[in-house]
């Protein structure tokens, strides 16, 4: 896709657009000619994202906590009409732990960011979406290839897949899907693995059929596919380098 001045610009809101996969998606959509709003909790991270993204005049940044219903409602009160909503936000710091060390506060943050937040974005965002628009969530490989330490994240990602199916039925013709990344080299691994990040990603790369871990831009491409294909809804698109096979 390339910018076409004669075609209407698509309007996209990305919750979690200040880093990682959301930032990569914002960059790709701006290159496509879209009007993009990135949403995050941190004003500083949003400002840094704006510095890193192309200066097109088509980018807005809004600070909001998607786990707070009043803030989500206010967000869409200001957004105007939209064609697509994408959600890449996740707060899983502390959620990858063996059960004896797993703190309920970390579990609740994961649930709020990856399940409650998407539900609120759909609840309040559906009213401003174009009739043939879309909502795309972000699940993850933990739901399909669970490991020790991953029970909480696996449960949340599995629940999100169920939410996708239910909302696809309720909100149609608006399409609702999720992309499910595998191991992708993004900043979130700093929270998960700390100084062991490079070693962990390297070990996984050797296991995967494709011989490497993913890039944020590849997840962005998958989300753009789900936005653009008008006959896909209620689906989880796996972008994980064959991880489910090994």
Q: Which residues are catalytic?
A: 139
Helix (H) / strand (E) element for 134: namely: strand 129-138
From the list 163, 160, 142, the residue with the least C-alpha distance to 151 is: 142
Torsion over CA: 45, 185, 37, 8 (sign):
positive
Residue 80: what are its φ and ψ, rounded to 5°?
75, -175
Contact 93, 107 (CB under 8 A): no
Contact 83, 130 (CB under 8 A): yes
Cα distance between the two ends of the chain:
34
Report the C-alpha gap between 54 and 114 in whole angstroms: 28
| 45-50 contact pairs (CB < 8 A, 24+) | 45/18, 45/19, 46/18, 48/18, 49/17, 49/18, 49/19, 49/23
Report the C-alpha gap between 222 and 215 in whole angstroms: 11
- Three-class SS of residue 239? strand
């Amino acid at each position: 896709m390339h910018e076409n001045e004669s075609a209407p610009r698509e309007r996209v809101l990305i919750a979690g657009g200040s880093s990682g996969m959301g930032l990569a998606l914002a960059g790709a959509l701006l290159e496509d000619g879209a009007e993009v709003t990135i949403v995050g909790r941190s004003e500083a991270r949003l400002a840094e994202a704006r510095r890193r993204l192309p200066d097109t005049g088509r980018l807005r940044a809004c600070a909001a906590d998607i786990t707070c219903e009043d803030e989500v409602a206010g967000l869409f009160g200001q957004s105007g009409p939209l064609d697509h909503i994408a959600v890449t936000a996740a707060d899983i710091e502390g959620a990858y732990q063996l059960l004896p060390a797993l703190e309920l506060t970390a579990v609740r943050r994961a649930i709020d960011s990856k399940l409650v937040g998407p539900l609120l974005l759909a609840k309040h965002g559906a009213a401003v979406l174009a009739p043939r628009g879309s909502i795309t969530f972000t699940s993850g490989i933990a739901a399909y290839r669970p490991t020790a330490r991953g029970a909480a994240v696996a449960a949340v990602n599995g629940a999100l897949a169920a939410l996708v199916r239910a909302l696809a039925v309720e909100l149609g013709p608006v399409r609702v899907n999720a992309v499910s990344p595998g191991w992708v080299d993004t900043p979130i691994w700093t929270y998960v693995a700390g100084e062991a990040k490079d070693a962990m990603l390297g070990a996984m790369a050797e296991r995967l059929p494709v011989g490497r871990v993913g890039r944020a831009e590849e997840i962005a491409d998958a989300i753009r596919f789900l936005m653009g294909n008008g006959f896909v809804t209620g689906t989880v698109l796996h972008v994980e380098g064959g991880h489910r096979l090994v």
